[in-house]
Every structure is written in structure tokens, then in C-alpha cells.
Chain A
Amino acid sequence: MRWKICEVMVMVLLVMVFFDGVSVANQPPPEGGVLPKFELPVPETAKHRQYLGLDQKTVFSIPDIEAEVVIIEIFSMYCPHCQREAPTVNKMFQKLEADPKTKGKIKLIGIGVGNSDFEIDYFRKTYDVPFPLFSDGDFAIHRLLGEVRTPYFIGIRILPDGSHRVFYSKLGGSEDAGKLLQDLLSQSGL
């Protein structure tokens, strides 16, 4: 019995030492659950700060965004699928902004995993992306989000008490902006 306890302790120690600082099997945010904690820098452009309602901050968490629903696209400038779907995601943003029922209530952001600020800017410029994009150059957020493939969409409902709930967490988008939006919002509770 004593040997078994020792074995378990040695095992735990070995795993802790070996995997120190290494991401181990984080899972993608589950639908019905919450996002892992991470912060993003407030955008430099006034237009994007205003869009997200973040004028008074330097960094923010997703629930700080002034919205009832936030959609996050996890993408990469290097991902062909994300490149192909960039116009569709732009159209989705335009639909959200054009509809009085969703404008101001549903906000869209992108997080470029493994992308530097320079690379994010290149993607923004190439596809004329109108919504805020953030870089995750060292994959830190990507690891927290279970190292999902790209593009990956996460829908978050922000509740009046400041808490939040993930209602959508899925790989892949669509070439149809309307269908993508419908899929994304069908479980939002809005």
C-alpha cells in the first residue's frame, strides 16, 4: 500500500516537472460553460474602441465588451480556410451592423493565433476587415482555448449581472454569411 502511494506521488512529481510551462490538454470552451480567463489590449483605433465600448480601459476581458452577445473568430493569417472565408465573415459583420435588432447588441472580434501584430495588420488590409482583430503571437490564448483548428467560432452571451455563458463553440464557418449568422445565433437566447 505504501509503495502504491509512493508510486502515485513520484508519478505526479514527474508529470509536474516534465510539463512545467507546457500546455497540457486544455479543451475548447464547452457550450454551456464559460471562457477561460484572458485579456486583450484595447484597440488603438477610436472606431474599434467605440464599437466595443471600451473607452476607459487599456486591457479588457470578453465580458467587458458592451454587448449582449460577442462572437469570436479564432483565425490565422496563414490559414487558407480563414482566407477564403474572410469575405463571408465581413458580410456577417455588415449584416449585424445593418440590422437595428442586432446593431450594438452583437459584437464580432477576431483573434489571430500565432500571428504577430504585423501579420494581423496584413490580414486586415488584404481582406478589408472592418471589425477588431487581435494578435495572439505566442499562442497563449490559443492554448487556453484548447488549441482549436482554424477558423473556429465561439459565441458568448453576456448576462446583465456581468457573468457570461458560451452558447456556441464550433470548428469551421460557412460560405454563406446568413447561414453562418443563423447557426451562430440560434442558441444565443436573443
Chain B
Amino acid sequence: MNPIGRVVTLFCAVLILVPGPAFGLSETFKENIYDTGKLKPIDSQLKVKTGDPAPDFTLPSITGEKVTLSQYRGKKNVVISFVPAAWTPVCSDQWPGYNIVKDLFDQNDAILLGITVDNIPTLYAWTKQMGASLWFPVLSDFWPHGAVADAYGVLRTDGVSERALFIIDRQGIIRSINVSDINVRPDLAYCAAELEKLNQ
């Protein structure tokens, strides 16, 4: 092999051997998390904006029920949490964190809807691995694949969704949108502040 070829080969070997960031991953998931490496931060274009009516949808949940967004109209504020995929590093901790802040949602008369593009059996196994039942509905946007994520403009070109939060008021109007870097978990303080604004 020529010298340049050897340099390239050596460099690639180093790339392969260097581990990706661990994101403070919980031991709960043992070795079952697939390391996606660092991804393009955002890979979609929003199709809605604050002030728009939230596109309605009906999706199956892991409990077997179907959940329709408009069933909360006039009753509760809604936070939609899109996470990209089951069994991946940041997503696997995000919802367990939300699982201990039910009171934050209750105080603000809000419900949380968790959505991924995974199918129901995958979501069932993944959330079961989290160790405690999640208090909020976990919905599958698997088929037609990513249709809800696409309606909101958060479906990435590889078929998973962005890591995004949509805060929707009781009238079904989008009041805040946070599409974060897919590699980074959004600060819970954002949700708390936006939910408080809805009640002012």
C-alpha cells in the first residue's frame, strides 16, 4: 500500500476505535442501546408555526387504545414529545425523565403525548425496559410511516422524527415549538416555562 493509503487506513482505524459519547446513559438499558453516533442536528423543515391549529391525528398507543389529539380540545393543554427512535441513546432517557414530572403537567392542566415512528411491539418492549410504567400515552407513528411527524414537518430524511416538543393549548392552537438538536435532550425548564405561560 502506498504511504497516503496507509495514512488513510490508519485514520479510519482510529475513527472506528474511538467510542461515541455516552450521554449519561442509564445502566437500566445495559448493552441494549444502539449507538447512532453524532447525527445531523436537524434534518427537516417545519410545516407548522406557533399560532397555527395543531394538525389533528389518531394514533395507536402501547396500551391498545387509540388516541386522537382533538379529544383533548377544550379540556387539556397538550405537550407532544416526538423522539427519534426506540433503543437509541438520548431518547432512551428522555421519557423516563418525564415519568417523574407528572406533577408539572398536572399543575398546568396538561397531558403529555409521546410519539415515535417505531411500531407498537418495539415501543412496548422499549418502554418496558425503562422499568416503570409511563404515566403518559406512548403512540406509534409507524404506519403510514411517520405521517404525523411529516404533518408537523419533523420527519427526517432517514425516516425517523426530530427530537421536538409542541406545546398546544386547550383550543388546539400551537403555542410553542422546540425542535432541538437530535443529539441533545431539551432542558425540562423549557417545558415548565411554556406550560406556565399557557396558564397566565
**A contact residues vs B (CB 8 Å cutoff):** 3, 6-7, 10-11, 14-15, 18-19, 23-25, 76-84, 113-114, 116, 118-119, 122-123, 126, 137, 139, 142-143, 147-151, 171-172
* Residue numbers in B under 8 Å from A79 (CB-CB): 24-28, 93, 96
Q: By the criterion CB–CB under 8 Å, are B7 and A11 in contact?
A: yes
User: Are A78 and B11 touching (Cβ within 8 A)?
Assistant: no
The answer on a CB contact under 8 Å between B22 and A81 is no
The residues of B that contact A84 with a CB separation of less than 8 Å are 131-132
A82 to B97, CA, bound (A): 11
Q: How far is the CB of A139 from chain B (nearest CB, A)?
A: 7
From B19, B93, B132, B192, A76 is in contact (CB under 8 Å) with: B93
Contact A118 B24 (CB under 8 A): no
**Interchain CA distance A52-B130 in the complex, whole Å:** 34
CB A16 to nearest CB in B, in angstroms, measures 11
Per a CB cutoff under 8 Å, which of B10, B23, B94, B131 touches A81? B131
Q: How many residues of B contact A (CB 8 A)?
A: 33
**B81 smallest CB distance to A (angstroms):** 13
Q: Which residues of A contact B27 (CB under 8 A)?
A: 79, 81, 149-151, 171-172
A149 to B132, CA, bound (A): 19
Question: Which residues in B have some Cβ–Cβ distance to A below 8 Å?
Answer: 3, 6-7, 10-11, 14-15, 18-19, 21-28, 93-94, 96-97, 99-101, 104, 130-132, 185, 187-189, 192
Give the contacting residue for A78; candidates B10, B19, B21, B94; CB below 8 A.
B94
Q: List 14 A-B contacts (CB under 8 A).
A: A7-B7, A11-B14, A79-B24, A83-B99, A83-B100, A116-B189, A118-B189, A118-B192, A122-B104, A139-B24, A147-B21, A147-B24, A149-B26, A149-B27
For A149, what are the chain B residues with a Cβ–Cβ distance below 8 Å? 22, 24-27
Q: Is the CB of A80 within 8 A of B28?
A: yes
Whole-angstrom distance between the Cβ of A47 and the nearest chain B Cβ? 24
Are A83's CB and B96's CB within 8 A?
A: yes
Cβ contacts under 8 Å, A147 to chain B: 19, 21-22, 24
